[in-house]
Amino acid sequence: MFNTKETEVVVIGAGPVGMMSALVLNRLGIKVLIIDGAERVATRSNATLLHPSSLELFHNLGLLERIMQTAFKIENIEIHNGHLQNRNLKLSQLKSPFPFLASLPQTSLEIILERELEREGIPILWNYKAIDCIESDNTIEIEAQHYSEQSIGYAVSRMERMIDRSLRIRAKYAIAADGHNSLMRKRIGLDLLQGTPIKYFLMFDIKSSGSSKNIMRLNFDQGLASAHFPLSNQVNRFMFQFKGMNLPEDYRTKSRDPLQGFFEPIHLLDEANLRSLFSQYIPWDACDIERILWRVAVPFEQKFATNMTSSRCTLLGDAARTFEPLSAASLNLGLQEALEVCTVLSQNIDSRSLNEKLNTLADSFALNWQIRYQAERYSTTNQYTDDWVASNRNKIISSLPASGVELEQLAKQLSINIEIPPPAPIHTNRMVDFTSTSTLKGEHQNHVT
Ligand SMILES: Cc1cc2nc3c(=O)[nH]c(=O)nc-3n(C[C@H](O)[C@H](O)[C@H](O)COP(=O)(O)OP(=O)(O)OC[C@H]3O[C@@H](n4cnc5c(N)ncnc54)[C@H](O)[C@@H]3O)c2cc1C
């Protein structure tokens, strides 16, 4: 027996992109429902940098102040060629109202978004996993299963997640923000293409006794990229690309465990290897290690959907494409694209031209993604460009933590010209006033029929 809920838009996946989508749709007067198969928000730092254009977006949503209460400001980016510092990029030179990066654990950002959704009467339906969908001309039906934790076993009891009921959600439209291994993408029959080969990274969040500097350091050495930046006054994130060992795809999992448990591959993630990475790649940048707060080895596939939309569903965020991690582009472009898609959706939800408009938007996103996969094709150098920068510009551009015109401005500081493709005619970012929409609060409670 199914319970049925009806809504205008159903969002599948309550990662940052799904939550942003639900928030924007609600503010724009669309009745929205959001489900997630997991039991709570992420418990790890994962993607940690917010770009200037994402900060502007959060400012427009009235959430920037809350973010900055937790975040650490980064104002400079140093680019290193092995042991030599090559360039210092100044974020203060960006023509942005927020010319800096905000660094905060993804779990903190997710908690802020979840609380805001709750405040606006849109609680996330945790433990509801979408398992199937049926699209028709004007509606989409999502079938979801609800999980609950039950104690099983007699002599030694343990908690296990069991399905205890089902839910059918009937909506005019669905947003699939269910992450890089998206089940919705498979159900609606959209494929991902490989952009560039998979890259592997080791990540460490380290507590040290010294104070953090407001600098992000990117290093390109022996064909491998690494990054170091602060997360708070005494916690720093280090990321090292590595080669020579392939990791299975399921190593990219979003943890909900309160405690960090077993980690693999142990020999790459132990303190001895961390110290050796410091001395090999960044002897000038190592910090004292008081405690390793988090460590993980992650494969980053670089894949993208050639088509983001089916008749009644759009892919967003990691479900649509993934990038390598240093730039935090997966997160930031996901947030910005969610705003654009949801704006178009809210204005055209009953229009026959909805799909055409979403497809135009998707085309402009795809061009932006290509800049990250193939910087050489979309950029030029000039007589002032340093030779080393010119020959490494693919790696450098795909690691810069900025998007849109701000990426263009940062690259200019390196004497690289990026040809940003013109936005689609219906590009709506920054033109929407969300502030009056809190009056909608409470009007869009979803109901069980
Ligand atoms: C260990 C780790 C480290 C990372 N580090 C970086 C980094 O340094 N830089 C960077 O740019 N990115 C990083 N990422 C990626 C980054 O976390 C994502 O880009 C970001 O979370 C945005 O993703 P999203 O909202 O699209 O999807 P996600 O955050 O993956 O959220 C998808 C949500 O959908 C839910 N879901 C999945 N299937 C279903 C279903 N069938 N039904 C209902 N719900 C479902 C999941 O439970 C999840 O909550 C990292 C990821 C991991 C796992």
Nearest ligand 1 atom to the CA of 319 is 26
By percentage, how much of the chain surpasses pLDDT 90?
A: 66
292-326 pLDDT, tens per residue? 999 999 998 888 988 899 999 999 999 999 998 99
Please tell me which residue, 438 or 99, carries the higher pLDDT value.
99
Mean pLDDT of 170-178: 98
Mean pLDDT (the chain, rounded): 88
Pairing label, strands 379-381, 416-418: antiparallel
Mean pLDDT of 224-241: 95
| CA–CA gap between residue 295 and residue 293 (Å, rounded) | 7
With tokens 């494969």, the residue in question is 299
**Above 50 in pLDDT, residue 427?**
no
- Find the angle CA(57)-CA(368)-CA(408) to the nearest 5 degrees: 75
Q: From the CB of 52, is ligand 1 less than 6 Å away?
A: no
- Ligand 1 centre from 248 Cα, in Å? 17
Contact 7, 173 (CB under 8 A): no
| CA–CA gap between residue 252 and residue 325 (Å, rounded) | 12
**Above 80 in pLDDT, residue 262?**
no
- Ligand 1 centre from 155 Cα, in Å? 37
Q: Can you give the C-alpha Rg of the chain in angstroms?
A: 22
Q: What was the pLDDT predicted at 154?
A: 65
Mean pLDDT of 38-56: 90
- Ligand 1 centre from 94 Cα, in Å? 29
Nearest ligand 1 atom to the CA of 178 is 34
Q: What was the pLDDT predicted at 98?
A: 97
179-231 pLDDT, tens per residue? 999 999 999 999 888 777 889 999 999 999 888 889 999 999 988 999 999 99
Atom 12, ligand 1: residue with shortest CA distance: 47
Mean pLDDT of 366-387: 90
Give the count of alpha carbons within 13 A of 92, CB side only: 6
- Which of 43, 49, 178, 335 best tests ligand 1's pocket when mutated (most atoms within 8 Å of CB)? 178
| CA–CA gap between residue 128 and residue 143 (Å, rounded) | 9
The structural domains of the chain, ordered by start, are 2-70+105-194+304-373+419-441 (3.50.50.60), 199-300 (3.30.70.2450)
| CA–CA gap between residue 225 and residue 324 (Å, rounded) | 10
Residue 389: how many other CB atoms lie within 10 Å: 20
- Ligand 1 centre from 75 Cα, in Å? 26
Atom 41, ligand 1: residue with shortest CA distance: 130
131-141 pLDDT, tens per residue? 999 999 899 99
**Range from 2-6, 67-71, 368-372 that averages highest in pLDDT:** 67-71
With tokens 């965020």, the residue in question is 317
Atom 4, ligand 1: residue with shortest CA distance: 46
Nearest ligand 1 atom to the CA of 13 is 34
> Counting every residue, how long is the chain?
449
Q: What was the pLDDT predicted at 422?
A: 64
By percentage, how much of the chain surpasses pLDDT 70?
A: 89
Q: From the CB of 328, is ligand 1 less than 6 Å away?
A: yes
- Ligand 1 centre from 255 Cα, in Å? 10
